[in-house]
Structure 1
Amino acid sequence: MSGLNIRQALLATAAAILVVPSVAIANIDNANTDMSVTATGSWKFEPDFFATYAPVTALDMVRRIPGFSIEQGEGRRGFGENASNVLIDGDRPSTKSDDIITILSRIPASQVAFISLSEQAGADTETQGQGQVVNVVRIRSAKVNGTYEATIVAGRRYGFQPSLNTSATMRRGDTSYEVNFSSYSERVYGFGPEDFKTGSGRLVERRYYTGKGGHDEAAFGGAIKTRVGGAKLNLNGQLRWNDKFDIRNAEYSNAERERTGEEFLMRDGPIGDLSYELGGDIEFSAAPKTSTKIVGLYRTGNESSFSSIETTRIAQPVTLFETRSRNKPMEAVVRMQNDWAAVRGHAVQFGAEIAYNRLDAQFSVANSVAGAVTNFPASNVLVEETRLEPFVSDVWTLGPAWKIEAGAIAELSKLTLSGDSTAERRFTFIKPRAIATWTFSPQTTLELRAERQVAQLNFNEFATSVDVTVGNQVDAGNADLVPEKSTTLSALIRHKFLDRGSIQFRADYQLVSDTQDLVPITVRDADGNIIAQFDGTGNIGKSTKWNGELEITLPLDWLTKPIGFVGIEARYVGHYHGSRVTDPVTGLNRRVSQRPLWHQQWDIRHDMADLGLVFGGSISVQDANYDYFFNEKRRQKEGTRTTIFMEYSKFKLGTIRFQVTDMAGFRRDRFIYAGTRASDTLTQIVNRERRLDPLLQLSLSGKF
């Protein structure tokens, strides 16, 4: 589907919603008694509002809030800027290993007193920079309560793969204790051909692949929340184990379908890796109308991988290519924020954050044909960064309908590389931000935003790696990599209707400098002669990006109730991502790598509350991804993913869910050029398809 057609589809869908008969648009005076709203954009949802959905956890409840989507940060630098838009009892969890979705899934729905939603700038000091914030407030109970979910996934060639998630919380006065355990197991079997052709499209060789992959993970954690004098103290920790494998076989044949060889690939990583995190915060008031919060976080672990690919061709010697890596990342963060409310109509926050990040990366390659270890650039590097970020912001309440949040973060950082690559750089960034919200009716909010952002560096991109699944493609470490910077102007309008319906449209325009993309990395000998050229992540100058997003949640009772059906709800999410950058190889304009032009998803569900039954399904499809290597253009297209499910919530032990997922296969096309892409001379075309079997899933979830 072309970009034009997508834009037309988004506009047509929005228009269809806007012409819903006026009788369907709910007046706030007739809202359900289990939901209340004020003219200042604050909503309160009582547990009865969610009863029709038979929620098991707080996550089930938050996902049913009209017009709200969970945000988990956007890969920005620092702890403070990566805040989610969900709070638990008014606090932001002091963790980066656990995402907010996982944390919400551990809270029983029966322990939620109510959920509040604020849709104004500076909604909460814990999540400044967010224009929409949810706060899940729990019941204070001395009983032990918790959640559990047990899942079995199976397929025609999968076997049974179990997963378990459980948590328990106990309160004693002002102190609560939580322990949680999770285990995850996944197996995927894929099959399909890969065709190697000449530049003119003539088939030279076909490789037919069959394989299986798996991912096993287990985590154990806990948290303590208490009061020490007049201060609130939160402590948390987690230990996580990861293991992953991929095994693949291939049969080679020529254009006449005669067997010419075979291939065996084995890839592991992570390999039984352990990681842990310790975090906590303390909040107190040292002066009137002032609140201080200090956050501490430390996490570290191992990231190991091993891969080998053995190729046997008729009348040729066996070749074996192996890679090994062992990375040790570490992060330590201390943040202090002060909230001052001494001036009427203003809420001022100021403070500073200090962070230290480190990656010790070790990598090696062995090739049996050469008979010796092959070294690549930046095979062993130590990356260290120290960062200081003072910040200040002010939330200005202009009246019941208007709020403005304005602030700035200054970043002072030092980055050093040692080992096979050596470098030292210092950065100074100023990141201003301004957000204005206008609540011009209880159901309708307009948000305007302008901000300067700096992307988080991925330290793994300073070190070399090799992807053995794509012709031993080298991702060369780049010692010259710097953070991407962008200035964003955005607007959002959100409207609620039918008590449970909403429509939201967001658009933004970004001016980007030091755009991160693929760049050629050249290796020279002592005399300056080029001995090798690889691709790696680097900076390719300025670019522009523009995005559009349309979300619609449409309850259909107004349409179906006259014919005897209630509880049917449809949802649509559409994204459009445009971009333009100058290609460093060809000098021509193109899209930024790894940005699908569009993505769409349709969901429908039918809640039959009296019977405890829910039926539903979803369809998801997206445009192709493009990668631009120095001598290759690669296109990958994910297939359509469809899911149908049925839930029964009146089972004594909890809620039973049965789900069938038609796994999306994919097609990858590689266009390889002579010399570089600038030559415009194709020498090889490689087409790969992977098909996956459908998955069957049975789960039991409950609360105690």
Structure 2
Amino acid sequence: MLIPTAVNARDKDDVPVAGEKDSPTVGAQVFQPDYFNRYAPRSALDMLSQVPGFVIDDGNNGARGLGQATANVLVNGERFSSKSDSVRDQLRRISAKDVVRIEIADGATLDIPGLNGQVANVIVNTTATSGQFRWNTGFRPHNTEAQLYGGEISLSGKSGKLDYTVSLNNDNDRFGADGPILITNGAGDLIERQDTTFSGKFDNPRLSTNFTYTFAPDTLAHLNLKYGEDFFWRRETELAVPASGPVRDRLVLSDEDGPAYEIGGDFQFPLGPGKLKLIGLERFKRDNFTSTLVDRFDDGSPDTGFRFAQRNGYGERIGRFEYDWNMLKADFQLSGEAAFNRLDRASALYELDDTGTFVALPFPAGTGGVTEDRYEALLSVTKQLSPKLTLQATGGAEYSKIEQTGSLPNSRQFTRPKGSVSLAWKPSDDFDVSVEVRRKVGQLGFGDFLASVNLNDDNGSGGNNELQPDQSWNVELEANKKFGPWGSAKLQVRQAWFEDFVDFFPLENGGEARGNIGDAKRLHIQFSGTIKFDPIGFKGAQLSFDATKRWMDVTDPFVGGQREFSYDLNSQLELDFRHDIPDSDWAWGAGLFTFNPAGYSRRYEIGRYWEGPSFASVFLENKDVLGMTAKVQISNVLGARNKGWRTVYDAERPDGAVLFNEVVDRRIGPIFRFTLSGNF
């Protein structure tokens, strides 16, 4: 995390306090700390989460390089530059008592190119050393061990011109389900019943340090250091009783571990008529993955099985500059970026022989390396056309070179235009509209260049050395309306037209891989907001909602015809009711979450997997338990299940006949969680 501090606490060198002299952004909606008192917030995240109608968007996570700002949260007018930490993680480390105010403004009105729609600017002033902690624990009565060691502890402070934060956190979870999988033939006759149970866990401990040094109010340096380890484990058992033949007992074990680090920083200083910001980032992640499948039979037949092992090294190195100046009553920015991404992978496939030994099989397509060297240059201008209308325009291009080593070496070069134009209109204090047109270049998953297998599903993906990033034209409209004491609402409409869209496509050798399948389009409509019930006498009660619906259209490369994007989102609904009981430390509430993903289409099968139909939860919170906040939550009270189906064909679609149908319906059960948070 970077905690950008445009201006910091006054010390012997008379550096002004953030927010003390700076006036709020013109036209912004301002939330003072007193507004959040009834929620007893511990962090900036607790505060921002209670801003009516505002939904945090992490933006750049997984995007190409650092690029222009797309996350909708700033701190002291500066964007976060870490790629490993989410916006929520970084806000959680800012103490609520250090927040001067929160401003909500349209991104196009700010001096940061790339922002559009509602943006939160959290004004922070660190004045003394303070600490925060959060302990997350929980358990599920079925198939999982207890979740005991989740949470975070952080310490923030100031020494002269140096602001610092040190954080130790562990993002973790425990999960599992049990129930039947029914296998039928094309006529619906039962082939096999599989009684399955799976359980798993992951822990991601991280140590992060963040420093900000203020040489002068307009000369700043930031440094981020982060190191962590990832641990994942999953066990699945399956007792398969066929209509005829021996009973099969399957065990599948999967585990993954590896280190990860990130080093990043920036230096901002006045230069000529403007200011120059230099940014650098280096990050690396190592994954060591192994999956083992063994089948045993009750008739004495020899055991059968496979093992798949994969070692990945992902790296990214970025250098970027941003030069900002004012000219012709407009704000300009010239930016340039060089990004170098890499993947080194070694894969191995083994088969269990009659002696119980795993013997290596040829799998050359799973080993190799991929690199991309990318260079980008953009010029942006932001101009206020009238007191109520602001224009932001960006234009430029990127050059990239992608090289692959291994069994299918290849090298290609691309030059592509990029840019955007947006307008923000604010006709009144309680209503604003923004429209943006943007040309984007997508980010490839480097693993798609090389082959991999899924042992339990008995399928795999071949390598594709001709893969290239998709490009798209995107039009986005956002309208925000405030309803005074009743709350606020936001409508977002996004239309995207893709070229070289990436999905599964057929290989000439009869296999399949991720590849470019042509043109596609997607319409995204999202409606969110907050309804407050104070006007009807239900003091302290509010309902937040967030509903999303997508319509997608792409030509299936296997059978023709139009379909959805594989694994994309069809629809989603989230409702959260909260009641902070007046004149007390108690709060209670309930939530509902429904997630409806799209299915997938492959050469020999189609399918869809999800959990639902809906997750419901209830909670009870006390904000002063020996000075701490304690929250008890019960989730999945409506009994959502782990569900799915797939149809596998005996030859490539559409000519193949149904080999079997698979229907999954497994119990998840209730989820109990307890959170304890506080300050020190």
Q: What TM-score, normalized to structure 2?
A: 0.92
Equivalent residue of 1:325, what SS?
A: strand
Alignment map for 1:259-274 (pairs within 5 Å): 260-269=247-256, 271=257, 273-274=258-259
Is this contact kept in 2: 1:445–1:495, CA < 8 A?
yes
What is aligned with 1:192?
179
Change (3 A) 1:537 1:253: same
Q: Deviations over 1:481-528 (max 9, x none)?
A: 1101110122121101134611111112221110111112343xxxxx
Note if 1:279 corresponds to 2:256. no
Change (3 A) 1:295 1:664: farther
What is aligned with 1:529?
none
Is this contact kept in 1: 2:288–2:311, CA < 8 A?
yes
What is aligned with 1:304?
288
State the distance in 1 between where 2:525 and 2:79 align: 29
What is aligned with 2:234?
246
What is aligned with 2:623?
649
The amino acid of 1:49's aligned partner reads: Y
What is aligned with 2:645?
669
Q: Deviations over 1:12-34 (max 9, x none)?
A: xxxxxxxxxxxxxxxxxxxxxxx
State the distance in 2 between where 1:98 and 1:405 align: 28
Change (3 A) 1:39 1:356: closer
What is aligned with 2:438?
451
Q: Deviations over 1:503-555 (max 9, x none)?
A: 111112221110111112343xxxxxxxxx33321111011111111113111
Cα displacement (A) at 1:102: 0.1
Q: Deviations over 1:39-76 (max 9, x none)?
A: 95312211001112221110011111123221112543
Is this contact kept in 2: 1:505–1:548, CA < 8 A?
yes
State the distance in 1 between where 2:291 and 2:107 align: 50
Change (3 A) 1:333 1:481: same
Cα displacement (A) at 1:135: 1.6
Cα displacement (A) at 1:240: 0.7
What is aligned with 1:27?
none
Note if 1:387 corresponds to 2:374. yes
Cα displacement (A) at 1:322: 0.1
State the distance in 1 between where 2:309 and 2:656 align: 35
Is this contact kept in 2: 1:665–1:691, CA < 8 A?
yes
Cα displacement (A) at 1:558: 1.9
State the distance in 2 between where 1:115 and 1:146 align: 21
Equivalent residue of 1:201, what SS?
A: coil
Cα displacement (A) at 1:38: 8.8
Note if 1:691 corresponds to 2:677. no
Cα displacement (A) at 1:183: 1.9
Q: Percent identity?
A: 27
Equivalent residue of 1:432, what SS?
A: strand
Cα displacement (A) at 1:577: 0.6
The amino acid of 1:417's aligned partner reads: Q
Select the residue among 322, 330, 343 that pairs with 1:337: 322
Is this contact kept in 2: 1:520–1:630, CA < 8 A?
yes
State the distance in 1 between where 2:285 and 2:609 align: 32
Is this contact kept in 2: 1:211–1:246, CA < 8 A?
yes
Note if 1:545 corresponds to 2:522. yes
Q: Please, which moves more after superposition, 548-557 or 673-682?
A: 673-682
State the distance in 2 between where 1:301 and 1:189 align: 27
State the distance in 1 between where 2:28 and 2:108 align: 12
Cα displacement (A) at 1:437: 0.7
What is aligned with 2:344?
360
Cα displacement (A) at 1:458: 1.0
What is aligned with 2:210?
223
Equivalent residue of 1:623, what SS?
A: strand
State the distance in 2 between where 1:605 and 1:687 align: 37
* Structure 1, gaps ≥5 residues long: 1-36, 524-532
Equivalent residue of 1:677, what SS?
A: coil
Is this contact kept in 1: 2:72–2:115, CA < 8 A?
no
What is aligned with 1:156?
141
Q: CA RMSD in A?
A: 2.0
Q: Deviations over 1:339-359 (max 9, x none)?
A: 011321x10000200011111
Is this contact kept in 1: 2:277–2:322, CA < 8 A?
yes
Cα displacement (A) at 1:261: 1.7
Cα displacement (A) at 1:85: 1.7
Note if 1:593 corresponds to 2:566. yes
State the distance in 1 between where 2:607 and 2:415 align: 36
Note if 1:399 corresponds to 2:375. no
Q: Deviations over 1:393-442 (max 9, x none)?
A: 10010121100100123101111001122111101110120110100111
* Structure 2, gaps ≥5 residues long: 1-22
Is this contact kept in 2: 1:596–1:626, CA < 8 A?
no
State the distance in 1 between where 2:660 and 2:579 align: 50
Select the residue among 333, 350, 354 that pairs with 2:334: 350
State the distance in 1 between where 2:576 and 2:280 align: 40
Q: Please, which moves more after superposition, 95-104 or 629-638?
A: 629-638
What is aligned with 1:17?
none
Cα displacement (A) at 1:159: 4.2
Change (3 A) 1:500 1:354: farther
The amino acid of 1:651's aligned partner reads: V
State the distance in 2 between where 1:53 and 1:284 align: 38
Is this contact kept in 1: 2:109–2:424, CA < 8 A?
no
State the distance in 2 between where 1:601 and 1:134 align: 21
The amino acid of 2:235's aligned partner reads: I
Change (3 A) 1:624 1:280: closer
What is aligned with 2:59?
73
Equivalent residue of 1:48, what SS?
A: helix
Q: Please, which moves more after superposition, 154-163 or 356-365?
A: 154-163
Change (3 A) 1:515 1:130: same
What is aligned with 2:308?
323
Cα displacement (A) at 1:100: 1.0
Select the residue among 619, 642, 658 that pairs with 2:592: 619
Cα displacement (A) at 1:82: 5.6
Q: Please, which moves more after superposition, 507-516 or 367-376?
A: 367-376
The amino acid of 1:542's aligned partner reads: D
Change (3 A) 1:492 1:369: same
Cα displacement (A) at 1:151: 1.9
Alignment map for 1:527-546 (pairs within 5 Å): 533-546=510-523
What is aligned with 2:117?
131
Select the residue among 148, 166, 173 that pairs with 2:153: 166
State the distance in 1 between where 2:464 and 2:282 align: 27
Q: Please, which moves more after superposition, 199-208 or 82-91?
A: 82-91
Equivalent residue of 1:121, what SS?
A: helix
Q: Please, which moves more after superposition, 487-496 or 258-267?
A: 258-267
The amino acid of 1:95's aligned partner reads: S
Is this contact kept in 2: 1:251–1:259, CA < 8 A?
no
Q: Which has the higher contact order (CA 8 A, sep 6+)?
A: 1
Is this contact kept in 2: 1:40–1:401, CA < 8 A?
no
Is this contact kept in 2: 1:118–1:134, CA < 8 A?
yes
Q: Deviations over 1:331-390 (max 9, x none)?
A: 10000000011321x100002000111110111100124974223352111111111101
State the distance in 1 between where 2:471 and 2:177 align: 39
Change (3 A) 1:481 1:310: same
Equivalent residue of 2:36, what SS?
A: helix
State the distance in 2 between where 1:372 and 1:181 align: 42
State the distance in 1 between where 2:571 and 2:179 align: 26
Is this contact kept in 2: 1:129–1:435, CA < 8 A?
no
Cα displacement (A) at 1:468: 2.2
Is this contact kept in 2: 1:192–1:209, CA < 8 A?
yes
What is aligned with 1:13?
none
The amino acid of 2:314's aligned partner reads: P
What is aligned with 1:313?
297
Is this contact kept in 2: 1:39–1:441, CA < 8 A?
no
What is aligned with 1:498?
484
State the distance in 2 between where 1:521 and 1:664 align: 38
What is aligned with 2:169?
182
What is aligned with 1:20?
none
Cα displacement (A) at 1:665: 2.4
What is aligned with 1:432?
419
The amino acid of 2:89's aligned partner reads: T
